[in-house]
């Protein structure tokens, strides 16, 4: 029997905020690397993850969404997303299961006209609709772009995601194993740990505040002779009033953020974690090149 050729390549996930890009990527690689929430602009950096099977490897790039920028952080996020589309072998464009195609998706369709990369349309969240409706959504999207393939999935429930992986491999070239099987991501542990804190802040705070925060890990150190890691983190926010809200009455909000983040850190690091979080005000950090760099948003 002839040995199957090894295929590999780079695949980016694009789509409007909240369509489920990060959720899908986490599901495909089987581990939570990218944080998710029901708020737009949760993902700020390009996050690379690796899926490896016997005959192939897919490197996924989860990017911030393509949207109109309001400040330097926003500009940075859009640049990252648009640049990536031209560099990859396959684009996964995620959309909501709907026949209504809004301005955001029209804008993405226009951008994709300039790109030669094959585009697979992924209709996500099909757990929220009746199966017989899916054909209508497919027909609506076929009108706005010529797709290499169209695959309906539920990232949350893991429905049809194996078929999506098979479809991706159809468009990947023969290629090397870029990373060994144990490699899952390019994100340093410190970065994932910081992101877990930002995720809990996104989930526990009301809309306006989370968009103005950054998280810095000041210290992360194993305590000698124990299965305990001490982590010291700072949440940076833009106003004194925000600081008060993040901390909460008698510190209860910050305590909950810390408790929830710590549980996930313990899963991730497979050890006990002693987590301490401070809150600091840095006005206008989102418009300072120096501070953006300082918090890990490097162009
Ligand atoms: P992103 O902004 O595109 O990265 O979206 P996220 O991955 O952060 O997900 C946005 C929200 O949609 C979160 O609350 C997810 O739990 C939810 N979500 C993602 N995929 C699905 C899905 O397949 N079905 C349902 N019902 N919800 C989903
Ligand atoms: K989101
Ligand atoms: Mg995301």
Q: Whose CA is nearest to atom 6 of ligand 1?
A: 20
Q: What is the pLDDT of residue 42?
A: 85
Q: How far apart are CA 215 and CA 234, in angstroms?
A: 6
For residue 6, how far is its CA from the centre of ligand 1 (angstroms)?
Answer: 32
Any atom of ligand 1 within 6 Å of the Cβ of 84: no
Closest ligand (CA of 17): 1
As separate numbers, helices (DSSP H) first and strands (DSSP E) second, the chain gives: 9, 9
97 Cβ below 6 A of ligand 1: no
pLDDT of residue 119: 96
Q: How far apart are CA 239 and CA 234, in angstroms?
A: 15
Any ligand 1 atom below 6 A from CB of 37: yes
pLDDT of residue 44: 82
CA dist., res. 253 & res. 257, Å (int): 6
pLDDT at 72: 83
Start-end of CATH 3.40.50.300 domains in the chain: 7-170
Distance 24 CA to ligand 3 centre (A): 9
Q: Are 141 and 112 in contact (CB under 8 A)?
A: no
CB 149 within 8 A of CB 172: no
> Mapping DSSP to helix (H, G, I), strand (E, B) and coil, where does residue 260 land?
helix
DSSP 128: G
By C-alpha distance, which of 105, 116, 173, 108 is closest to 148? 116
Q: Give the Cα-Cα-Cα angle 212, 215, 220 (nearest 5 degrees).
A: 175
Q: b/e string for 151-176 if b means 16 or more Cβ within 10 A?
A: bbbbbbeebbbeebeebbbebbeeee
pLDDT for 158: 97
Report whether 254 contacts 248 (CB < 8 A).
yes
Alpha carbon 222 to its chain centroid, in Å, reads 28
Q: Could you give the C-alpha distances from 288 to 44, 128, 280, 284, in angstroms and in order?
A: 16, 41, 16, 7
pLDDT of residue 162: 97
Q: Which atom of ligand 1 is nearest to the CA of 43?
A: 4
Q: What is the model's pLDDT at position 67? A: 63
Task: Please give the sequence-ordered ranges of beta strands (E in DSSP) within 97-213, or none if there are none.
Answer: 119-123, 149-152
pLDDT tens track of the chain, all 299 residues? 666 799 999 999 998 889 999 999 999 999 999 999 988 878 888 899 999 999 999 999 988 766 667 778 777 777 777 778 888 999 999 999 999 999 889 888 888 888 889 999 999 999 999 999 999 999 999 999 999 999 999 999 999 999 999 999 999 999 999 999 999 999 999 999 999 999 999 999 987 787 889 999 999 999 999 999 999 999 999 999 999 999 999 999 999 999 999 999 999 999 999 999 999 999 988 888 888 887 877 65
Ligand that comes closest to the CA of residue 24: 1
CA distance 2 to 202: 51
Residue range(s) in the chain whose domain bears CATH number 3.30.300.20: 189-294
ipTM exceeds 0.95: yes
For domain 189-294, the CATH class is: alpha beta
As a whole number of angstroms, the distance between CA 54 and CA 125 comes to 29
Give residue 74's pLDDT. 76
C-alpha dist (Å) from residue 179 to 34, 57, 132, 184: 19, 8, 40, 9
* Interatomic CA distance for residues 236 and 215, integer angstroms: 6
- d(CA 166, CA 28) in angstroms, rounded, equals 12
The CATH class of 7-170 is alpha beta
Q: Is 175 near ligand 1, meaning CB less than 6 Å away? A: no
Predicted confidence at residue 108, as pLDDT, reads 86
What does the pLDDT read at residue 237?
A: 93
Query: Of 91, 79, 2, 92, which Cα lies nearest the Cα of 45?
Result: 79
The length of the chain, given as a count of residues: 299
The closest-lying atom of ligand 1 relative to the alpha carbon of residue 38 is 14
């Amino acid at each position: 029997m002839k040995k199957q050729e090894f295929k590999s390549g780079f695949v980016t996930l694009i789509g409007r905020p909240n369509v489920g890009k990060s959720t899908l990527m986490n599901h495909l690689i089987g581990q939570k690397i990218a944080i998710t929430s029901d708020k737009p602009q949760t993902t700020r950096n390009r996050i690379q993850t690796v899926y490896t099977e016997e005959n192939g490897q897919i490197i996924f790039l989860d990017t911030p969404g393509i949207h109109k920028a309001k400040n330097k952080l926003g500009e940075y996020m859009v640049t990252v997303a648009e640049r990536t589309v031209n560099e990859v072998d396959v684009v996964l464009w995620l959309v909501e299961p709907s026949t209504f195609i809004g301005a955001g998706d029209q804008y993405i369709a226009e951008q994709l006209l300039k790109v030669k990369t094959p585009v697979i349309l992924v209709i996500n969240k099909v757990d929220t609709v009746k199966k017989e409706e899916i054909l209508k959504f497919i027909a609506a999207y076929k009108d706005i772009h010529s797709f290499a393939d169209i695959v309906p999935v539920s990232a949350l429930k893991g429905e049809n995601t194996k078929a999506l992986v098979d479809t991706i491999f159809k468009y990947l070239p023969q290629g090397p194993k870029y990373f060994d099987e144990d490699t899952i991501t390019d994100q340093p542990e410190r970065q994932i740990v910081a992101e877990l804190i930002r995720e809990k802040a996104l989930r526990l705070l009301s809309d306006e505040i989370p968009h103005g925060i950054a998280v810095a890990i000041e210290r992360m150190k194993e305590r000698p002779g124990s299965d305990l890691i001490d982590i010291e983190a700072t949440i940076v926010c833009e106003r004194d009033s925000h600081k008060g809200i993040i901390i909460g009455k008698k510190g209860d909000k910050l305590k909950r953020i810390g408790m929830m983040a710590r549980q996930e850190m313990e899963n991730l690091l497979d050890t006990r974690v002693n987590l301490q979080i401070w809150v600091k005000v840095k006005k206008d950090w989102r418009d300072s090149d120096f501070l953006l760099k300082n918090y890990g948003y490097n162009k």
